[in-house]
Amino acid sequence: MTQMNMIQALNSALDVLLTDDPDTLTFGQDVGYFGGVFRVTEGLQKKHGVTRCFDTPISEGGIVAAAIGMAAYGLRPIVEIQFADYILPAYDQLVSEAARLRYRSGGQFWAPMTVRAPYGGGIFGGQTHSQSPEAIFAHITGLKTVIPSNPYDAKGLLIAAVEDDDPVIFLEPKRIYNGPFDGRQNQSLRTWANEATAEVPEGRFTVPLGKAAVVREGREATVLAYGTMVHVAAAGINDSGVNAELIDLRSIVPLDIDTIIASVRKTGRCVILHEASRFGGFGGELSALVQERCFHHLRAPIERVAGWDTPYPHAFEWDYFPGPTRLADALRRAMEA
């Protein structure tokens, strides 16, 4: 076990993959010589060579299209999109090609590839370095979407994503790359040092896709979250005084529906927290699922706490960001209902 922040854990996962499997390779903008703008691929080109870790042209569509072709051939490409906000030029490739290749070819071709992308706000990145696009991938069947919330999971989930035989979108919460963040922007920065989830094995291990984590147990309400919002939720639960159970979904497709149902049937209340805009967000799907499967156990309306239905605004970062106060308020409303 070694202490790692999330960047180091992801770097370690890539290093393990490149070392163990000659058919893996990783590429993207500024990924090779420079080591990536967030340093996730630092040192990998030097160690594994330019044919295994390399820079690409600024063409997200080209990067993903090339990855699809390589994956269809039999390699396991792991590509980086510099910011999730810039994945949209590749959306057609992901939706029309990667997601359907296996289905439309009657199982003759498939694309075992992983697309990594830092996502989310809280870094004063403005409209195009802050977005959370998970819902537009969750909506596309044939794609898996994974979102870690700590270094241990980041490494284990990334290795599992690459081992998976389907295309996986791997969204990295960049606000917590260097330390957990509970949404209180005025408090001093924390690092991952001394966090239990920052104890990461140096070798190969996986965290299975589709298995949620119960981060803390509770009796009165269930909070569903992923990524940075897991930490925000923990703080909000503390503030609320509600004895709430916190579930880190870890992957939204595949979704660990059993863990969600078991928890809500036990607690009778459900609050969903995500940073993406609320309308048409993944919280809508979660809410529908809980309503369909737990209706008779619910003692309060399901609450959704999310970003507002606006673009991510620079000056209003903390008015937009769904922080612990809004979660605590929602929990109290659920208790009073």
- 131 touches 275 (CB < 8 A): no
Judged by CB under 8 A, the residue of 105, 127, 187, 191 near another protein is 127
Q: Which of residues 19-38 bind another protein (CB under 8 A)?
A: 29-30, 33-34, 37
| The pairing of beta strand 251-253 with beta strand 221-225 | unpaired
Least distance from ligand TPP to the Cβ atom of residue 170, Å: 18
- Nearest in space to 282 (alpha carbons), one of 80, 145, 82: 145
Number of residues that bind another protein (CB under 8 A): 35
Q: Is 128 in the site for another protein (CB under 8 A)?
A: yes
Q: Pick from another protein, ligand TPP, none: which does 57 bind, CB < 5 to 8 A by kind?
A: another protein
Q: How far apart are CA 268 and CA 260, in angstroms?
A: 11
48, 129, 231, 274: which one is catalytic?
A: 129
CB of 113 to ligand TPP, least distance (A): 19
Where would I find the H helices in 28-108?
44-48, 60-73, 91-92, 101-104
Please provide the DSSP assignment of 154-221 as one string: HHHHHHHHHHSSS-EEEEEEGGGSSS---S-TTSPPP-STT-GGGEE-SS-----TT--EEEE--SSE
Quick check: 187 binds another protein (CB under 8 A)?
no
Q: How far apart are CA 264 and CA 204, in angstroms?
A: 34
Positions in 66-125 near another protein (CB under 8 A)? 85-86, 88-89, 124-125
Nearest distance in Å: CB 324, another protein: 16
Q: How far is the CB of 125 from another protein (least distance, A)?
A: 7
Cα–Cα distance, 76 to 17 (Å, whole number): 10
Structural tokens at position 59: 């063409």
Select from 112, 179, 183 the least CA-distant residue to 142: 112
Partner interacting with residue 125 (select from another protein, ligand TPP, none; CB below 5-8 Å by kind): another protein
**Residues 302-331, interacting with another protein (CB under 8 A):** 308-311, 313-316, 319-320
For residues 265 to 284, the per-residue mask of contacts with another protein, x marking binding by CB under 8 A and - elsewhere, is -------------xx-----
Closest contact distance (angstroms) between CB of 24 and ligand TPP is 23
Chain positions contacting ligand TPP, by CB under 6 A: 29, 58, 82, 86, 89
For this structure, is 274 an active site residue? no
Q: Which residues contact 77 (CB under 8 A, 6 or more apart)?
A: 24, 25, 26, 27, 66, 67, 70, 71, 113, 114
> Which residue is nearest to ligand TPP, using beta carbons?
86
In the set 15, 55, 199, 285, which binds another protein (CB under 8 A)? 55
Of residues 305, 119, 170, the one with CA closest to residue 224: 305
Q: Beta strand pairing status for 270-277 and 303-307?
A: parallel
Residues found near another protein in the complex (CB under 8 A): 29-30, 33-34, 37, 55-62, 85-86, 88-89, 124-129, 278-279, 308-311, 313-316, 319-320
Residues involved in catalysis: 129
